[in-house]
Structure 1
Amino acid sequence: MIVRLSRFFLVIITVIVAAVYLPQLYWVSFEPRVIPPMVFYSPVIQKFMIGHFGKGKYYFTDEDGRKYNRTQADHLLPLLNFRLLAARDEMPDSLLGQPITLNKVRRNNVSIRITPKEVNPPQIPLFPLFESKPPRLRLGLPDEYFRINDRMEFISSRTNRISDSLSQVFTNALISAGFHFPARKIFGNPTTRKPYDAGYFIVDRDWQLFHLKKVHGQPYCRNMEVPDGEKINWITVKEKELQEFCGIAISEDNQLYMVMLNPEGLQKLPIDGYDREQDNIIFM
């Protein structure tokens, strides 16, 4: 009797598991891959172009519906295809009356991609604060890592002890800039593999946004002046050779802003309908 019941329950469990996972396995294995179209702007024809890719097709259409093959699109999107055009010696020497060089295009060729998985992932609440102006010009990992609760604290990675002097200096700098503890969110790019260090962007208790970095061992702290009523949900920080801006900020109501460095501030992007929980977005 017990053996029969065991077999019965095993069959039931097998059926339930199969009912849940077999459809998922089917769609993963056999669902056709859909490649969404991509939108570009052509400075040559001064129109938006839509790229259609997948299933052996590769063509573009402009906003008037005119169709272009891949070779034609290469010349209409020279800033996107500059390496290919340069190799063919077909790169234009000016666009819209402005002279351009290959080095200038490379420097301004910035790409930032944001996916739902990258927004608000789990974080270890300890962050390295780099020296933004290193004497040997190379970024290096510091010995201390910081956290921000009722004050800013630096903890030695060697001794696991709090550096009270360093903590007090940076805490005072935040207070002087108008920061209200604790920090709600801390955004940065904690890697040495970048051309420079922009520091961290920190949201305080009152949803104010502050820019903090270490310059010659001393704190640099500024209020970024968030637009009235706006709350920053996430910032993707990506330092590139072009140092005019260093990332993209997303507000609670899904508005997008460029994080500008010169001058410092948030510049709103005219993009509607974006949802950080569902949409992928690429800035190029």
Structure 2
Amino acid sequence: MNILDIRNLNISFFQYEKGLKRRKLNVVRDLDLKLKQGEIMAIFGASGSGKSLLVHAILGLLPYNGFYEGDVFYKGQILDDKLLEKTRGKEIFFIPQTINSLNPLLKTARQARMTLKRSDYKRQKQVYRDFGLGEEVDKMYPFELSGGMARRVLVADAILSDAELIIADEPTPGMDKKATDEIIAYFKNLKKQGKTSLIISHDINMALNLADRIAIFYDGRIIEVADRKDFENEGAGLKNPYSRMLIRALPDNGLKLLTKEEVESLC
């Protein structure tokens, strides 16, 4: 079953030029994507390629001058404003790229507990401990957190939400290998619980060691969706010439594919 089904999606913006002349700028074009229930998919592409706009369109977060055409289905239903209002933050949880999404007026623990379906404060403390967030973090405001701590808080809150679909926009920027491995482990554990994840990333190593399938995004389009194994042997299993060129252009040892056993050992 597809938890998310995107058909013929086009994302555009209106821009005004001299004399109040308006023009339409097409940024994402003819995009189709199916996300299976219980899988982890990564959308990989260069910074500034428009990957994040896809997420913003799905979640109804495009800026005032942006709009999309096409259809987005969630569990077989059109994901319109009414369904978004019902599911966003509950069944669908978003981990944004910027840590500024944390409420600056609320202490960390209070924000986390607002996502809990039940007042299970012991669970909140345990998940935070699992992420290396001590009890002192509970009493801190977002501005008192380091960038890495704030990122861990965002991911921990997503886990506490019990959402069925977690969408993360660059969940590991600025993190060291140990912290990145922890994030990979938690998304893998979410998969074991039957949860579905859509990850936006320009980190090919993180994407490959986390995802079941990788969608390659280039120039406003998804040019290929491939299984993890297709990236082995310098991308020998990839079909699109750009995809193969992208992988082969990485520096020597730039692509570090963990074995299945190594990935499982993180969980």
Alignment TM class, shorter chain as reference: under 0.3
What is the TM-score with the length of structure 1 in the denominator?
Answer: 0.26
Greater fraction of residues in helix: 2
What is the TM-score with the length of structure 2 in the denominator?
Answer: 0.27
Choose between structure 1 and 2 for higher RCO, CA contacts under 8 A separated by at least 6 residues.
2
